Amino acid sequence: MTTIEQAPATDAAEALVGRFFGAALGAAELFTIHLGQTHGLYQAIDAAGSATADDLVSTTGVDMRYLVEWLQAQAISGLLTIDGSDIRTATYRLAPGVRETLIDETNPFYAGGMPPIAVAIGRAYPLLQAAFTTGAGVPYSEFGPEAVTAQSALNRPAYVNSLVADWLPAMPDIQQRLTDGAQVADVGTGAGWSAIELAKAYPNARVDGYDNDEDSISRARHNASEHGVADRVDFEVRDIAAIAARGPRYDLVTFFECLHDLSRPVEALIAARTSLRPGGTVLVMDEHVDESLVAPGDEVQRFFAAASVVWCTPQGRVEADSEVIGAIMRPSKLRELAAQAGFASADVLPIEHPFWTFYRLTP
């Protein structure tokens, strides 16, 4: 009998195994976190300060058998601290940092939008898999309500903490117009948080939020009402091209992290330019990607590249003859799109951010 000895794994293979294991671990933990979010378990522990399994069953109505598994997983993962050796009778508290990252929705460190991403992609995955053969797009609605939740949660802290305080001061002339009473179009408004923050900061301004997703607009209207700005913010389910039909009426048109998703970005920019009043401008916030391909890239570039495959490009290919760019929209590509749309310049604003680049487009 001949024995065949297996060659030892290379360092590269060992590193990849570790990387893939970490990815699988992260994905599994994201799902357990999402269960805690949707059933209010973190919130219940936070409200009480500490809680036992019996306490949580009483306050949230979850099943005890699943709950003890969840508590065990959370304690092992370090998201909950545990006082006691028996899972059922032990007392649990939030670990340091959990409140900021999973409960406080406007905290700069809030990361509660990450777990719903995994759930949304999982919901749409059969269509994504099929699309690789058919070339079809995958409608945003197929990603489910978790997609709206994820996008809303990921960007809201930045709008609350940075939009007015850090970003708009880079355009002092537009900031003055907002103070005086500007008209703003917020394209791809989603759940409306960017439009709401503008209205809260500038009482004389009027903001119109546009999105083609009905669930997003429904949430935006609810959010505007809750924050007391419904009288100055209007949300509509409307295609971007329809904005231009109303003629020049806006001092500022914003595209917050959405231009790269659009099926026809040049047409969208033309519509935005046409809708501007004299002296108006377009502000584009999009992914902070490298000027040219770097392979392998860092973790931020890897995230954008992967998201482009499973999120941005499929959603942008829903329309026939789509020209969607995808998440890797490099500065040179943005300038090319702006020139095709008739803008005289597309300048990068002096705003430092690890995830986004800001462009001012001047007609």
62 with 140, same domain: the answer is no
Q: Which residues of 21-43 are buried (b: 16+ CB within 10 A; e: fewer)?
A: eeeeeeeebbebbbbbbebbbbb
| Lowest mean per-residue pLDDT among 64-78, 230-244, 319-333 | 230-244
* pLDDT band, residue 2 (cuts 50/70/90): very low
124 with 66, same domain: the answer is no
Q: What is the mean pLDDT of residues 239-245?
A: 77
Q: What is the CA radius of gyration of the chain?
A: 23
Q: What is the mean pLDDT of the chain?
A: 95
Asked if residue 42 lies in contact with residue 36, where contact means CB atoms within 8 angstroms, the answer is yes
CB-based contacts of 217: which residues, under 8 Å, 6+ apart? 189, 192, 209, 211, 235, 236, 237
Amino acid (1-letter code) at residue 222: H
- pLDDT at residue 74 tops 50: yes
The per-type count for the chain, helices as H runs and strands as E runs, is: 15, 9
What pLDDT shows up at residue 6? 53
Q: Which residue has the higher pLDDT, 69 or 242?
A: 69
Domain count for the chain: 2
95 with 188, same domain: the answer is no
What pLDDT shows up at residue 1? 45
d(CA 234, CA 87): 50
Quick: pLDDT tens for 35-49. Answer: 999 999 999 999 999
d(CA 234, CA 196): 10
130 with 222, same domain: the answer is yes
CB-based contacts of 314: which residues, under 8 Å, 6+ apart? 124, 127, 128, 131, 137, 138
195 with 216, same domain: the answer is yes
133 with 93, same domain: the answer is no
CATH number at 191 reads: 3.40.50.150
Asked if residue 357 lies in contact with residue 331, where contact means CB atoms within 8 angstroms, the answer is yes
What pLDDT shows up at residue 243? 77
* pLDDT band, residue 10 (cuts 50/70/90): confident
Domain region containing 64: 15-102
CB-based contacts of 198: which residues, under 8 Å, 6+ apart? 163, 164, 178, 184, 186, 205, 207
- pLDDT at residue 55 tops 80: yes
Quick: pLDDT tens for 147-191. Answer: 999 999 999 999 999 999 999 999 999 999 999 999 999 999 999
DSSP bridge pairs for 283 = 254, 360
Quick: pLDDT tens for 300-312. Answer: 999 999 999 999 9
143 with 238, same domain: the answer is yes
Question: Which of these three, 63, 80, 102, is where a domain ends?
Answer: 102
- The DSSP-derived string for 53-102 is HHHHHHHH---HHHHHHHHHHHHHHTSEEEESS-TTT-EEEEPTTHHHHH
What pLDDT shows up at residue 125? 98
| Lowest mean per-residue pLDDT among 55-59, 245-249, 322-326 | 245-249
Q: What is the mean pLDDT of residues 109-122?
A: 97
Asked if residue 74 lies in contact with residue 80, where contact means CB atoms within 8 angstroms, the answer is yes
Neighbours of 246 (CB within 10 A): 13
Q: What is the mean pLDDT of residues 242-254?
A: 87
258 with 315, same domain: the answer is yes
118 with 188, same domain: the answer is yes
Asked if residue 75 lies in contact with residue 81, where contact means CB atoms within 8 angstroms, the answer is yes
% of the chain surpassing 70 pLDDT: 98
Quick: pLDDT tens for 183-232. Answer: 999 999 999 999 999 999 999 999 999 999 999 999 999 999 999 999 99
Q: Which residue has the tokens 């032990």?
A: 90
121 with 92, same domain: the answer is no
